[in-house]
A and B are shown apart, each in its own frame.
Chain A
Amino acid sequence: MSTSSVGATDQLATPPVGPAPIVGEIKHGRWGDVWRAISRNRKAVVGVLLMLVFFVLAIFPGQIAPYDPAATIFPPALGVSWHHLLGTTAYGQDIFSQVVWGTRLSLVIALAAGALATVLAVLVGVSAAYLGGVTDGVLSLITDVILVIPIFPLVIVIAAYSKSSGLGTLVIVLGALGWSYGARQLRSQTLSLRTREFLEAARVRGERPIYVILFEILPTMTSLIVASFLGAALYAVLTAAGLQFIGLGDPNSQSWGTMLYWAENNEALGAGMPLWAIAPGVCVALLGASFALLNYAFDEISSPALRVRRLERKRLRPVPELQPEHTPFEPGEQSQDVVLRVQDLSVAYATETAPVVAVDRVSFDLGNQEFLAIVGESGCGKSTLLYAIARLLGAPMAGEIIGGRVLFQGSDLVLLKDEELRPLRWRNLSVVMQSAMNALNPVLTVAEQMRDACEAHSDMSKAEIEARSREVLRLVSIDPVHLHSYPHQLSGGMRQRAMIAMALLFTPDLVIMDEPTSALDVVAQRSLMVQIKELQEQLGFAVIFVTHDMSLVSHFSDRLLVMYAGQIAELSPTEQLFTRPLHPYSRGLLDAFPSIHGEKVRLEGIPGSPPDLHHPPAGCRFAARCPLVQDRCIETEVPLVAVNGSLVRCLRHGELAK
């Protein structure tokens, strides 16, 4: 799931909207999520505590403030003392009492104006996105216009003309003008929800639009609405304080802004009463800061990318030592025919609870010019394994290598630092990713993206680079005129082939591919596979090809590695795996594919789900779903054994009837 909508374009005349906050999985009901997020985030906790302090001051001012704030009974301009914690004003009022009493008004303004603005923002933003069409156009235009016109001068203009400057007017004016930013965000979030099928499902069910908006859309946006409210409240606090400061509020009211007004009028700073000006300002700043901190925390909630998690290696079970007898080739130095040797590679990543080992001691050798397919279902760790080999882990593919070796061209890739890896990258080892639309930089042309790879690893001249770029495009049957196109201008299949062409710029020894055909239709898939195979035979590189579709690679791969729950289940020559699978999982997978020309038999699939890798089972990980399971399978860990040129992790391998 893409985590960002950078570049997602609005319909109206507005430039690309920034990364919209993402809804993400709601895990504990609408409010449960909010609660957990707040309680785990330090900034949010500080913000909440600050707000609580102010709430207490606002609710119980009489109990906390020692004196009547308006009483001018004390000697003026006193300094700090036990009787007057913050001194007195030029009129002889106790500053501390004023500050305490001022909390109530400021908080009321903030919450009331914030609420009004949020209600308007929800109404406008969600309706505009849901109703679409002309309504959306008009509402969005109004939103954008109000957003752009500076509110503060406008409010000043209104306040200047109007006679009444009371609390009510202030709240209404602030609320009526402050909704535009929230409306914009809510609209953008609702737009992205429109493609979520549960809204279509609700319509198909026969729900009325009002019901859909109130009960299907809004509940999924709780975090965003709360964040919007906080933003509006913050803006209300600051704007109200500003207005009162310049004298447009009611000068007789008890609020922080008016305190500042009187302080400024009396030159408090210079006349030895600095606290008169500083104290209420600190309160405004702190209240504002509490809203801002909570807002910031909500940003982190809605964008999972923003949450940092450290991998706690101490909590991982120790990875056992290398066990050389698992590899089918001689241990020791690499033989001439092996281009890549992976030994006991393990990868783990941090989660909210315990760390998870996504790849558990995977070992295999890859021969020169061999085509190895790694097959598995979601969560088996195949992509993690692939990117670990290429040393490309890191957001969004979480994880760190916690053990094992990756021997390539005489070095252990696991031990090399980024700088040392760089010369190897692309020259000897290149990568093809799943979606070219996401893997190609949207702001650079194809030519520029090929050029920077060339420049980084060679000193080819511009002319040579251009010639080479044309050559690789021709290799994949793309007209070189497309060199100067941007990725979004090419069709899906063409983009995919352009990516493959780019990977071949230096005719590397090894190309790893992460489901490069998944985004394509079946006809385009097949022609791309054939093309890849031809290129491989022509240029002589090894391929590691990750896919979830075994039948796709059945005619192209030399060997097939089946992964399950982070471990190798079976590694066999392709033809052998299809005719005599050794592992019950491989067998189950094979039988799960409906055949187009063969006999029509009832498919069983493999009921159940893979184990939760937070608590992997002690014995065989497939035991819960295995038709051949016995007691001994559950008790102890099952080793990977070599059988006639294959590897299999099953105590009962070979007992599968054909």
Chain B
Amino acid sequence: MRFVLRRLGFFVITLWAAVTVNFLIPRLMPGNPAVAMMARYRGHINPSALHALEIAFGINTHQSLISAYFAYLGNLARGNFGLSLTFFPDPVMQDVLKALPWTLALVGTTTILAFALGTLIGLISGWKRGGKLDGVLPPLFVITSAFPYFWLALLTIWLFSIKLGWLPQSGGYDVAGNGPSWTWSFAGEAVKYATLPALTIIITAIGGWILTMRNNMISVLTEDYVRMARAKGLPSWRIMWTYAGRNAILPNLTGFAMSLGFVVSGAILVEYVFNYPGVGWMFLQSVENQDYALMQGLFLMIVLAVLTCILAADVATALLDPRTRDLR
């Protein structure tokens, strides 16, 4: 599994790059923004936490950049991101973990759903090239994939929530109700609130995957081995799945990895518009409040999530394509 090891190495390098970026940017910006933030903390937190924040933002100029960097890395490894200003005095880690399940539920499921559905539709559309499905869907989805996520969110709110009143327009759950709990009724409520955001994400994200899968499929269908499968008189479904589909999906998995960044970005905006209490919404809140500690923690969490998905896609590629296992 040399291939997977290599991808793991890439994972580590990218994570390291994100962490370093987090470390360097506040120091590179003119007019040290962290200083202003620190002023608001003073008097409210204990010295060791203060010290950790100083390290994180390089306020304490007694340390050289290098040692500050390693201290920072050390803190990160222990899960110490500092304290949040927005949800003072919670440690950042705690807040991040509070928001994570909401995002995983919404963004995680919708992304997988959009990818799976998109790939399936693209597969069929490409297979029945020139049919009715193929004439309508690709141009339609070319256009929808260009919509800004947040605008589509606004549209769906206006249509389904304000005009039709079917679904709620804000929040992850009913704030006037009983609050979060591990019950079926709460789960149902959460689903109701998540419906519009989910719809928005799926509509916008699915277009890209339908198109790439369709195009891959059409390319693969011109390959000799597909013609060979027809010559062998294999049943249509087997040709479509095992000969065309399995080969066409490989570059789609790569495409999944590359477009994940866009989907995540869009999801952030969707959460913002819907006030949905996930990682993205919290991230934008932290930006508004200039809560840099929380912002950094959430940023790293986002990067981590994306990288994990990409690693999963790579493992899937390795399983599906025997050539990668012999990669020379």
Residues of A within 8 A of B (CB): 2-4, 6-7, 9, 13-19, 43, 141, 144-145, 147-154, 156-158, 160-163, 181, 184, 234-235, 238-239, 241-242, 245-248, 260, 264, 269-270, 274, 277-278, 281, 284-285, 288-289, 291-293, 296, 299, 303, 305-306, 308, 390, 392, 394-397, 418, 421-427, 430-431, 433-435, 438-444, 452-453, 456-457, 486, 488-489
In the bound complex, how far is the Cα of B222 from the Cα of A392, in angstroms?
A: 12
- Given the complex of chains A and B, what is the CA–CA distance between A17 and B254 in angstroms? 7
How far in angstroms is the closest Cβ of chain B from A359?
18
- Partner of A149 from the list B30, B146, B303 (CB cut-off 8 Å) is B303
What distance in Å separates the Cβ of A111 from its nearest Cβ neighbour in chain B? 16
- Contacts A15-B317, A157-B22, A162-B30 known; 11 new A-B pairs at CB < 8 A: A4-B220, A16-B323, A18-B254, A150-B264, A151-B261, A154-B299, A160-B290, A264-B273, A277-B158, A434-B224, A439-B228
B145 lies within 8 A of A292 (CB): yes
Does B252 make an interface contact (CB < 8 A)? yes
Give, as a whole number of angstroms, the nearest-CB distance from B161 to chain A: 9
- CB of A6 within 8 A of CB of B322, answer no
Q: Which residues of B contact A486 (CB under 8 A)?
A: 322-323, 326
A285 and B287 in contact, given A9-B327, A161-B25, A269-B158 (Cβ under 8 angstroms): no
Let me know if B150 and A242 touch, CB within 8 A.
yes
Question: In chain A, what residue has the closest Cβ to B288?
Answer: A247
4 cross-chain pairs, A with B, having the tightest CB-CB distances, nearest first = A18-B251, A425-B233, A152-B265, A281-B151
Q: Is the CB of B147 within 8 A of A288?
A: yes
Knowing A18-B252, A486-B322 are in contact, say whether A153-B247 is a contact too (CB < 8 A).
Answer: no
Docked-complex contact A439 and B299, CB < 8 angstroms: no
Q: Could you tell me if B231 and A430 are in contact, using CB atoms closer than 8 angstroms?
A: yes
A160 B31 Cβ-Cβ under 8 A: no
B192 within 8 A of A: no
A-B contact pairs, 21 of them (CB 8 A): A6-B216, A6-B248, A15-B7, A15-B317, A17-B254, A18-B216, A18-B252, A19-B219, A147-B258, A148-B258, A153-B299, A235-B262, A241-B150, A246-B284, A285-B143, A288-B148, A293-B139, A395-B218, A421-B233, A422-B233, A442-B247
Q: Which residues of B contact A149 (CB under 8 A)?
A: 14, 17-18, 21, 261, 303, 306
* Per-position binary interface string of chain B over residues 255-271, scored 1 when its CB falls under 8 Å from any chain A CB and 0 otherwise: 10110111011101100
Taking Cβ atoms with an 8 Å cutoff, the residues of B that contact A are 3, 6-7, 9-10, 13-14, 17-18, 21-22, 25-26, 29-31, 33, 129-130, 138-139, 142-143, 145-151, 154-155, 157-158, 162, 211-212, 215-216, 218-225, 227-236, 238, 242-243, 246-248, 250-255, 257-258, 260-262, 264-266, 268-269, 272-273, 283-284, 287-288, 290, 292, 295-296, 299, 302-303, 306-307, 310, 314, 317-318, 320-324, 326-327
Which residues from chain B contact A260 at a C-beta distance below 8 Å?
A: 150-151, 154
- Once A160-B295, A238-B148, A452-B234 are accepted as A-B contacts, the answer to whether A13 and B224 lie under 8 Å apart by CB is no
Q: Cβ of A156 and Cβ of B227 under 8 Å apart?
A: no
* A392 and B231 in contact, given A4-B223, A149-B14 (Cβ under 8 angstroms): yes
Contact B212 A292 (CB under 8 A): no
Closest to B313 in A: A15
Q: Of A145, A425, A438, A457, which is within 8 A of B224 by CB?
A: A438
Cα-based distance from A151 to B264 in the complex (angstroms): 10
Q: Are A145 and B14 in contact (CB under 8 A)?
A: yes
Q: A242 near B306 (CB under 8 angstroms)?
A: no
A16/B322 contact (C-beta < 8 A), A153-B283, A296-B211, A422-B233 known: no
Instruction: Select which of B154, B157, B219 is within 8 A of A6 by beta carbon.
Output: B219
Cβ–Cβ < 8 Å partners of A291 in chain B: 146
Q: Is the CB of B303 within 8 A of A456?
A: no
In the bound assembly, the distance between CA atoms of A6 and B273 in angstroms comes to: 40
Select from chain A the residue with minimum beta-carbon distance to B235.
A456
Q: Which of A234, A289, A426 has the most CB of B within 10 A?
A: A289
- The interface residues of chain A lying within 8 Å CB-to-CB of B310 are 148
**C-alpha gap A346/B176 in the complex (Å):** 76
**Is B155 touching A278 in the complex (CB atoms < 8 A)?**
yes
Chain B residue numbers with a CB within 8 Å of A285 are: 143, 146-148, 151
User: By the criterion CB–CB under 8 Å, are B287 and A284 in contact?
Assistant: no
* Residues of B contacting A435 in the complex (Cβ-Cβ under 8 angstroms): 224
Across-interface contacts of B255 in A (CB, < 8 A): 18
Q: Contact at A293–B142, with CB atoms within 8 Å?
A: yes
Residues of A within 8 Å of B17, CB to CB, are 145, 149
Q: How far, in angstroms, from A151 to B221 measured CA to CA in the complex?
A: 35
A14, A234, A453: the one within 8 Å of B146 (CB): A234
**Closest chain A residue, CB of each to CB of B146:** A288
Q: A150-B303, A163-B31 are in contact. Are A431 and B231 (CB under 8 A)?
A: yes
Taking a contact as CB atoms closer than 8 A, the residue among B228, B299, B317 that contacts A157 in the complex is B299
Which of chain B's residues have a CB closer than 8 A to the CB of A154? 21, 299
* B273: A residues at CB distance < 8 A: 264
CB contacts (< 8 Å) of B327 on chain A: these are 9
With a cutoff of 8 Å between Cβ atoms, the chain B residues found around residue A397 in the complex are 227
Indicate whether A148 sits within 8 Å of B307 (C-beta atoms), given known contacts A19-B219, A157-B299, A442-B225. yes
A72 to B255, CA, bound (A): 47
* C-alpha spacing A151/B215, complex, angstroms: 26
Q: Across the interface, do B250 and A16 meet the contact criterion of CB distance under 8 Å?
A: yes
| CB closest residue in chain A, given B16 | A145
Complex CA–CA separation, A152 to B299 (angstroms) = 10
The contact of B295 among A148, A157, A277, A452, by CB within 8 Å, is A157
Chain B neighbourhood of A153, CB < 8 A: 264-265, 268, 283, 299, 302-303
A148:B323 contact, CB within 8 angstroms: no
A427→B33 CA distance, assembly (Å): 77
The answer to whether A269 touches B162, judged by C-beta atoms less than 8 angstroms apart, is yes
What's the minimum C-beta distance from B288 to chain A, rounded to whole angstroms? Answer: 7
Picked from B21, B247, B261, B262, the residue with its CB within 8 Å of the CB of A441 is B247
Given contact pairs A153-B264, A284-B148, A16 touches B284 in the complex (Cβ within 8 A) = no
**Complex contact B212–A18 (CB within 8 A):** yes
**Whole-angstrom CA separation of A142 from B306 in the bound complex:** 17
**B29 to A, closest residue via Cβ:** A161
> How many whole Å from B19's CB to the nearest CB in chain A?
11
Whether the pair A444, B146 counts as a contact (CB closer than 8 A) is no
Are B317 and A158 neighbours in the complex by a CB distance under 8 Å?
A: no
Q: Which of A149, A303, A305: most chain B CB closer than 10 A?
A: A149
Give chain B nearest CB distance to A194 CB in angstroms. Answer: 18
Kindly state the separation between the CA atoms of A283 and B143 in the bound complex, as whole angstroms: 13
* A425-B231, A426-B233 given; A305·B158 CB < 8 A: no
- Tell me the complex Cα distance, A238–B145, Å: 11
Q: Which of chain A's residues have a CB closer than 8 A to the CB of B218?
A: 303, 305-306, 395
> How far apart are the CA atoms of A163 and B29 in the complex, in Å?
8
Which residues of chain A are within 8 angstroms of B238 by Cβ–Cβ distance?
A: 452, 456
